[in-house]
Amino acid sequence: MADVILKNVYKYYPGNSEPTVIDFNLEIKDKEFVVFVGPSGCGKSTTLRMVAGLEEISSGEVYIESRLVNDIEPKDRDIAMVFQNYALYPHMTVYDNMAFGLKLKKIPYTAFAIDRKKIRSLTKELKLTIKNEPENQEKIKQLQEEISYLKQNKVEVIKYRKHTRQEIDDKVMEAASILEIEDYLERKPKNLSGGQRQRVAIGRAIVRKPKVFLMDEPLSNLDAKLRNQMRAELILLRKKINTTFIYVTHDQVEAMTLGDRIVVMKDGVVQQVGTPTEVFNSPKNKFVASFIGTPQMNFLDGKLIIKDGHYFVNVFGVDVKLNSRLSSKLKEKNISEEKEVYVGIRPDHFKLGLEDKETFKGNILVSEMMGTEYHLHLNVNDTKLAVKVPLIGLDGELLSQIASGGEISFSFENDYIYLFDKESEESLEN
């Protein structure tokens, strides 16, 4: 079971008054794909490097397959890491790059042999005893008998051997087949595209068949088209090799499409852990809500009010009635007083062209035609809003109004309104 557990992990760098990673706690299950996501400098890569053993842990514990690895060298953790800059050897062919780690790695096996390591240890102890405790004849005799026994009897010991040439070839060819790079094995990295180099870097990790794959922003150096292609290939690769993955990215699209679970980080602190659906639909705070989703969620200043036993939120001077789900959550939390809040609404959840008592009016500043939808930038009382408008089923008159610009009426889809406390920025639903 290649599970990974981090307990109360901190990372301090000399000269920094604040820790880079603060009280990180997470349990990653065997064969789970977990994505660390957050803005630059949030501590996600540092956390990954502590799992790999490339960064020292200031305090806390890291376990891989239930084994504490704090003081274990990276090469002995049975992990493989794919870096942002590929880290390929330029003078080696693709084949040699993939085979290099296997040539260095030794395979443990059990055999019956004289345990010379233990004999050396006991002999050293015997000499020290004779020198420092000559009167302790009982211990001297016991050590002599144990050494004599070990010299005459073979015991089960762990030995190490190198991979054979055939084993190396089989593993490289298997990985090359999975990644579809068999035709590039004799090329050198300078003769490969960015996507091909990344496949080679991943292949070098695959051949070792590690317990855990660690990936540090492996797609960030690729252009948008190739990044989309490689993201799909990573999903397929995960199905083929089916092991534990920890993946770091600043791209929330990668996080949403690749991860079984997402760990959202900010300033070294875990903000939320959950499935992509949970994080998107039920953000724990304003930061998570703003970071996950494209374009990002709109945030408006509002006031939570109660009228005739019902909850409303006042935005731009209009009272918008909250749905029963959100009202029930507020009642459970015993919120019975008016309070200032942030009102969150995603660009997808606007209704245009309708006019009723919960309708607003705004001016279209920019209209972006994206092929299947329009992205509108509205100005409402000096507040900027982003709105997505699908073309399918769009009324002709409304389409003409969007294209020409000017004033437009809109309302919110009440089932998709989010409320966040003005002081703590925590969701009022949690």
Per-residue model confidence as pLDDT tens digits over 292-311: 998 899 999 999 999 888 89
Give the Cα separation of 293 and 280 in Å (integer): 7
Give the Cα separation of 414 and 356 in Å (integer): 14
Q: Which helix (H) or strand (E) holds 401?
A: helix 396-404
Give the Cα separation of 83 and 74 in Å (integer): 15
Structure tokens at 79: 């992990």
Give the Cα separation of 126 and 147 in Å (integer): 9
Q: Is the overall model pTM greater than 0.95, yes or no?
A: no
Nearest Cα to Cα of residue 401 among 376, 419, 427, 372: 376
Structure tokens at 146: 């144990």
Q: Which helix (H) or strand (E) holds 378?
A: strand 373-380
Give the Cα separation of 109 and 112 in Å (integer): 10
| DSSP bridge partners of 408 | 362
Model pLDDT, residue 354: 73
Rounded to the nearest angstrom, the gap between the alpha carbon of residue 102 and the centroid of all alpha carbons in its chain is 27
> Which of 242-251, 262-271, 274-283, 347-356 bottoms out in mean pLDDT, i.e. has the lowest?
347-356
Using alpha carbons only, give the angle 62, 65, 66 rounded to the nearest 5 degrees. 65
The pairing of strands 155-162 and 244-249 is unpaired
pLDDT tens-digit series, residues 214-236: 999 988 877 778 788 888 888 88
pLDDT tens-digit series, residues 16-61: 889 999 999 999 999 999 999 999 999 999 999 999 999 999 999 9
